[in-house]
């Protein structure tokens, strides 16, 4: 993949080593034992396996023309296609999976959107990896792999808060393209230093700033005309913010179900969501706001009004709908992402997570998927689906 990282181990963040890290321009020791370190990014700081190093042309979330940012299509799918053994079927929408008389999964039924016709495929093994929501959606539509009754349950994501301000020392400076590749530094979870009994688990902090595409202050300054425009111009280079990403605890009733009425244009029942935060998340959010204000006040910032938590679904870090475990009675998959009920079915996205943690899930999903794939190959070579 090519991950720029650091060998430092701080708080709950593990020791690791990848490509040379992006160097953050930020201070350390800003209070409460917090420490700023380079953020692990699947963005190249050096040429790697035929892909060029990042040249900081713009925000990564708008896409990457050079291929310096990892994505599965450019890295994994193209590599698989080059083997000559990959057959892609685009514009296909899976309705359900079907098992044979022996209980093994045999067929996937899908709707081809170009010909608008139902089709099917047969295979020895199946891997679901469309994301935690859609994996659970397909399994619920299939009435499969759910002897525990937990498919779709324990849905989780991340709790977000943000605190924004302006630094007077950055006002009125020369406008420059500072979009870069997004976040370069972060503060790992060190909340154990102060959380006490207020809440359990923790959060990490992402400092952000620079002259971005939009100014934070545009709707905060009253007035009009040239004076108003000049004020916005002066403030536009001084915006800073702290974004907080916290762990939402696992709750059985946070879930998806099949909607009893709503269907798509192919007649596939849609998923419907049931999700809420509890007391622990509300206490964590309150602490995020307090810590954010403390840090920015110490930096001499002019504060902007605090905001409420970001809405549900903001993080798109959905996990937990086919949780892993050793006991089939209280889990959907085993420790290798393999279905307890249907052994030739693997779920290699975020669905097997048992907790969201406070870290971004992508690298862990990839690690689990690699581990799961190695097991699948080994079992197929031994002509068995059990050890």
pLDDT in tens, 181-202: 667 788 888 899 899 999 999 9
**Share above pLDDT 70 across residues of the chain, in percent, rounded to a whole number:** 91
**Share above pLDDT 90 across residues of the chain, in percent, rounded to a whole number:** 54
Residue (of 360, 12, 23, 4) closest to 191 by Cα position: 12
The arithmetic mean of pLDDT across residues 17-29, rounded, is: 59
User: What is the 3-state composition of the chain as percent helix, strand, coil, each rounded to the nearest 5?
Assistant: 20, 25, 55
Residue 65's pLDDT band, with cuts at 50, 70 and 90, is: confident
Name the strand (E) or helix (H) holding 98: strand 92-99
C-alpha neighbours within 13 Å on the C-beta side of residue 207: 23
The arithmetic mean of pLDDT across residues 47-76, rounded, is: 87
- pLDDT value at residue 28: 52
The whole-chain average pLDDT of the chain stands at 88
Please give the C-alpha separations between residue 373 and each of 125, 155, 189, 247, in angstroms, as whole numbers: 11, 24, 31, 28
DSSP per-residue string spanning 112-142: ETTTTEEEEEE-S-EEE-S-HHHHHHHHHHH
- pLDDT value at residue 15: 63
d(CA 80, CA 229): 53
pLDDT of 20 over the 60 cut? yes
H, E, C per residue of 331-378: CCECCCCEECCCCCEEECCCCCCCCCCCCCCHHHHHHHHHHHHHHHHH
pLDDT of 121 over the 80 cut? yes
Rounded to 5 degrees, what are φ and ψ at 204? -115, 165
Q: Per-residue pLDDT tens for 237-290?
A: 888 889 999 999 999 999 999 999 999 999 999 999 999 999 999 999 999 999
Residue 21's pLDDT band, with cuts at 50, 70 and 90, is: low
Pairing state between β 37-38 and 185-186 = antiparallel
The arithmetic mean of pLDDT across residues 104-116, rounded, is: 94
Q: Per-residue pLDDT tens for 135-163?
A: 999 999 999 999 999 999 999 999 999 99
- pLDDT value at residue 137: 97
d(CA 197, CA 199): 6
pLDDT of 27 over the 50 cut? no
The arithmetic mean of pLDDT across residues 220-235, rounded, is: 85
| CB of 351 closer than 8 Å to CB of 164 | no
Sequence spans of domains, the chain: 158-303
Residue 26's pLDDT band, with cuts at 50, 70 and 90, is: very low
């Amino acid at each position: 993949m090519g991950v720029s990282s650091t060998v430092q181990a701080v708080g709950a963040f593990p020791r690791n080593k990848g490509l040379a890290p992006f160097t953050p321009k930020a201070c350390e020791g800003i209070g409460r034992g917090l420490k700023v370190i380079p953020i692990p990014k699947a963005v190249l700081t050096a040429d790697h396996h035929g892909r060029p190093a990042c040249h900081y042309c713009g925000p990564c979330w708008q896409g990457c023309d050079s291929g310096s940012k990892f994505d599965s299509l450019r890295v994994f799918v193209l590599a698989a296609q080059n083997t000559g053994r990959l057959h892609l079927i685009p514009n296909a929408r899976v309705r359900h999976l079907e098992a044979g008389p022996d209980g093994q999964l045999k067929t996937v039924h899908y709707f081809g959107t170009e010909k608008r016709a139902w089709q099917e495929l047969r295979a020895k093994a199946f891997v679901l990896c469309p994301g935690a929501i859609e994996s659970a959606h397909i399994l619920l539509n299939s009435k499969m792999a759910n002897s525990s009754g937990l498919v779709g349950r324990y849905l989780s994501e991340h709790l977000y808060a943000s605190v924004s301000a302006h630094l007077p020392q950055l006002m009125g400076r020369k406008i420059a393209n500072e979009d870069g590749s997004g976040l370069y530094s972060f503060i790992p979870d060190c909340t154990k230093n102060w959380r006490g009994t207020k809440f359990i688990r923790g959060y990490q902090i992402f400092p952000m700033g620079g002259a971005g595409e939009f100014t934070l202050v545009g709707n905060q300054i009253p007035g009009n005309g040239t004076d108003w425009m000049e004020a916005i111009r002066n403030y536009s280079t001084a915006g800073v913010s702290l974004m907080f990403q916290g762990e939402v605890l696992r709750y059985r009733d946070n879930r998806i179900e099949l909607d009893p009425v709503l269907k798509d244009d192919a007649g596939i029942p849609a998923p419907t969501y049931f999700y809420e935060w509890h007391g622990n998340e509300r206490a964590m959010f309150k602490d995020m706001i307090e810590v954010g204000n403390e840090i920015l006040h110490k930096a001499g910032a002019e504060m902007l009004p605090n905001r409420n938590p970001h809405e549900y679904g903001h993080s798109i870090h959905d996990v937990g709908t086919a949780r892993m475990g050793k006991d089939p009675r209280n889990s959907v998959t085993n420790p290798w992402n393999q279905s307890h009920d249907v052994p030739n079915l693997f779920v290699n996205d975020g669905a097997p997570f048992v907790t969201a943690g406070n870290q971004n899930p992508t690298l862990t999903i990839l690690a689990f998927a690699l581990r799961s794939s190695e097991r699948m190959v080994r079992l197929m070579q031994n002509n068995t689906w059990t050890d």
